[in-house]
Structure 1
């Protein structure tokens, strides 16, 4: 009976993983969409909105980069959220240099709302233009085409949302390699399902929608009390296959500074994973089914290897090992292709090892994050 269950778990895991890797994730990995823009496009005004809490150093780098964008009609709104560093003075100096830079200062956050959502709502409310493009203070556009390409579906195709990718700087070390892997896997989830017309989330580091829509749905109604979710929960409520565009184009990406320590990274990921428990049930299943089949595959496969190894049944041992190896090769190929399509850079190293470690990461950190009550933005 025990051997039967191991084969059953292993088999179910293989089947579901094959569907995810080849069919769902393959939508991003083998994407051949048109990355060009029309010469007759509507160059409607765009406001880039950024919430900043004690981001003096990052804003000093970011603001000049933003005004290098190759787009004729845009301005930048910085929401100075309760900063105690030199942010206010920096913005005053920068506004003298860049006439299209504007700012609003928040001195306190009302008790009934979360800080990031309040800051973002105020920034969007006073934005000059209807097309809103969001990013964070520690992000840098990868190219001068970022504004043009990220906003194109909203400006020209009457889409409500345009969802882009934001990666992290590549640096040496295991932590950074893990961050690259986990970020790419997350992108494969939301970009692939989005390309299959089943969008369920996006990231606030690279997201576009209209101010008119944001105000018409009363901003973050229903999720004000949740720390986080100003991006993924907002899309989870309103995104659909018809109103959402996925921007899979390296020229439309932003890049962020990665966390340098395990403690900083785990704190960040705990906040991200905590929000997931508020997703719609069907969207929880999109992530949960992959992770569940991933666990079945590895636990069933390892169990079979141990069983056949102890029984010295090397023919069966080799068959199981071969299946595990084949799936690892397929996973690596999918990730390499997806990395090239999404970022245009080299994929993480030792993907199959990181995939195995993901087994413990998701179930342990996911459980901790689901039960956490001390989640904060800044």
Structure 2
């Protein structure tokens, strides 16, 4: 009975993993960027770049000049100063004297039963001059001066409501950073691949575009005001469809964020991100959950079979199981390497095979803790 269960787990894991790696993630890994052309109907519609910032003096000092290097004619920048106690307000006043298209609004307090970042974003969107809103964070940097043009093109030119972009993290030489690179590419494989399959379910607020008019018609964050986080993925999860959403898979349309330096900081951040997942639609939970479930079954069954056949010295069966594990490992390596090149323009160091095994504990342990957490907060 035990041997049957091991084969059953291993077999189910192989089948589902093959579907995800080849049929789903392969859409991103082997994406053909020339397969779609823009209609180019309204290339110069105004865009508002929106940044919600809480005590982000140092990051804004670098970001704001960088934003005004963008090669796009009609845009302004709106910074929502959310209850900052550092020198953010003075910096914004000085910057507005230098950059006439920089605007700011200040949040002095957050109403009860409303989460801080959603309130800040809502206020910023309400007072924005333009209907096309491009969101990013204060600790993010556009990877090129074409960021605005390329990220907003599906909304401006093709009539889409949402365009979903990639936001990576700066590369550093540490085990934590290589895990961050791996997990960020895996997340992109999920939401890009399903988006390319006309079944979008999330986006990241560090690089997200949608229309102000749609946001207002949807009554802002109605139904998710009380949830910490989710201003990006839950909002997209509620309203994105295959018809109204586009994936922007172009290294020039990316942003790059400052990565966490310690495991403690990273785990706090990821707990907030994973917590929002409990509020996804049921079908989207299944999209996400089937991959780690099959991943776990594959490794439990595979390692169990290797141990059993090794002890009983059944080397033919041992070799067959080991061969399947090595084949999957090769496929995972190729998928992640290719996806990194497609998404970022280059393959970042991420210890792919080691981190693939570490993912066993990451999803089930941190995911379970995040699902039940009640101490989630933005800043």
TM-score, structure 1 as length reference: 0.99
Which residue is equivalent to 1:257?
A: 258
What is the CA distance between 1:163 and its match in structure 2?
0.3
- Report the counterpart of residue 176 of structure 2 in structure 1: 175
1:353 aligns with 2:354: yes
Q: Tell whether the 8 Å contact from 1:178 to 1:348 is kept in structure 2 after alignment.
A: no
Partners of 2:41 and 2:158 within 8 A in 1? no
Q: How far does the alpha carbon of each residue in 1:25-56 deviate from its partner, in whole angstroms, 9 at most, with x for none? A: 00000100238767765210000000000000
- The answer for unaligned runs of 5 or more in structure 1 is none
Whole-Å separation in 2 of the counterparts to 1:191 and 1:126: 31
5+ unaligned residues in a row in structure 2: which ranges?
none
In the alignment, what sits opposite 1:51? 52
1:176-206 CA-partner distances (Å, limit 9, x unpaired): 0000000000000000000000000000000
Q: In 1, Cα distance between the equivalents of 2:190 and 2:245?
A: 15
The 5 A counterparts of 1:140-159 are: 140-159=141-160
2:96 maps to 95
Within 5 Å, which residues of 2 pair with 1:1-378?
1-34=1-34, 41-378=42-379
User: Do the aligned partners of 1:37 and 1:149 also contact (CA within 8 Å) in 2?
Assistant: no
Does structure 2 retain, via aligned residues, the 8 Å contact 1:51–1:120?
yes
Matches of 1:58 and 1:190 in 2, distance apart? 27
State the Cα RMSD in Å: 1.0
Q: Deviations over 1:251-284 (max 9, x none)?
A: 0000000000000000000000000000000000
* Aligned pairs, number: 378
SS, match of residue 296 in structure 2: helix
Shift in Å, 1:92: 0.2
Distance 1:49 1:103 in 2: 10
Cα 1:86–1:147, aligned 2, differ >3 Å: closer, same or farther?
Answer: same
Q: TM-score, normalised by structure 2?
A: 0.98
SS at match of 2:133: strand
Residues 38 and 158 in structure 2, CA contact (< 8 A), matched pair in contact too: no
Look up the SS of the partner of 2:33 in the other structure. Answer: coil
Question: Aligned partners of 1:126 and 1:41: how far apart in 2?
Answer: 23
Aligned-pair CA distance for 1:348: 3.1
Q: What SS does the aligned partner of 1:199 have? A: coil
In structure 2, the residue corresponding to 1:260 is in which secondary structure? coil
What is the Cα deviation at residue 96 of structure 1?
0.3
